[in-house]
Amino acid sequence: MIHPHGGKLINRVVSAEERETLAREAKALPRVRLNQRELADLEMIAMGAMSPLEGFMAESDYRSVLDSMRLANGLVWSIPVALSAKDDSQRRLKSGDRLALADEDGHTLAVMDVAGCYDADHEYEAQMVLRTTDEAHPGVQYLRSISPCYIGGSIHLIRRPEHSDFLRYRLDPKETRVLFAAKGWNRIAAFQTRNPIHRAHEYLQKCALEIVDGLLIHPLVGETKSDDIPADVRMRCYEELIERYYPRDRVVLSVFPAAMRYAGPREAIFHALVRKNYGCTHFIVGRDHAGVGSYYGTYDAHAIFGEFDPQEIDITPLFFDHAFFCRVCGNMATTKTCPHGKDDHVVLSGTKVREMLAKGELPPSEFTRPEVAKILSEATR
């Protein structure tokens, strides 16, 4: 089994014996209510999905990640995982203090051992991580919405954030690892997605499946921008497709609880490292991975992997060019495998698909399986 990033699968969940004591102590501590992204990060840190992180980043890690895509200890890590202060009193927290972390309803979920507070530079963070400071970028909008005072420190999870959706699809890294071992899979490819599945995605997944033992389809179900297709719709599409077109014994569908950062290339590295923690050995990187608008080059998310020694990343990226159905070839292909021109390719933009669905039209079957088109059409109306 592939090792987690940093060599050890982190577990920040307190033992049953300690839970009551810590919960009692937390009542007397200053409290911060986490936003949706921070809640998702908290759960992922605690369950080991973000190994080797043991908490929200202290200043040394934050600055190092922005400048060099590495933690202060040198390990590759491409995006900040930060907790923002919610009021001025939290600015006075200092190393050695403890802080209760709560959900939006005020329920205590964890206790943080504060390592320190520090001033983030949101302009610099946006430029380095998102490659833009344009306020139209959803990641920039997020940074504008939070305090630039960050609180770093390790966490101790008392209780998990509550979920009411996708309960049968929520697997922790240690569970996916047990699952892959039980299935006898040694080589597992992970597919990250925040979009509905079209024929191009299916093609990428099945190409990967040709060279590995199993496939983890891992749709992101954390916070996304409002015009993305809702996660429940995307999941219905996957359920339908797996039922009809995938070898059930070689595919695992589970949800990825992270929030989208829309950080393109840097998020591709993050998505890959995290999937290693789930036990995957390969990671599919398509065109404009984790991109939005035209902020990133089509294959920037491929190129960024070249900035690291493959052994540092460890999980193997599988790079795919833009895939499409070619009418002349009569099959799915990419520019790597098809000699024909654009006029022979069935390619639709996301905008065009949304327009068609809004008008009650279904995309062609060469672009989207009819079963998926039907689900998307019903969801759009």
Partner 1 sequence: MPTDPSEMVTLKIPRPLYVRLQQLIAGTGFRSVTEFATYVLRDLASQPQARKDTDQMTEAELEQARQRLRELGYL
Residue 201 Cβ, how far from partner 1 at the closest point, in Å?
A: 22
380 Cβ contact list (under 8 Å, min separation 6): 354, 357, 358
- Positions that interact with partner 1 (CB under 8 A): 1, 4, 8-15, 18, 94-98, 113, 115-116, 154, 156, 168-169, 171, 173-175, 177-179, 182, 252, 279
Residue 175 Cβ, how far from partner 1 at the closest point, in Å?
A: 5
Number of CB atoms found within 10 A of residue 7's CB:
9
- Which stretches of 130-259 are DSSP H helices? 138-145, 173-183, 199-211, 231-245
**What is the CA angle 135-141-145, rounded to 5?**
130
Residue 96 Cβ, how far from partner 1 at the closest point, in Å?
A: 4
Contact assessment for residue 43 and residue 37, using Cβ atoms and an 8 Å cutoff: no
Nearest CB to partner 1, comparing residues 1 and 136: 1
DSSP annotation of 172: -
**With b meaning 16 or more CB within 10 Å and e meaning fewer, what string describes 235-249?**
bbbbebbbeeebeee
What pairing do the DSSP bridges indicate for beta strands 331-334 and 323-326? antiparallel
Q: The tokens 């991109």 sit on which residue?
A: 291
- Residues with catalytic function: 194-195
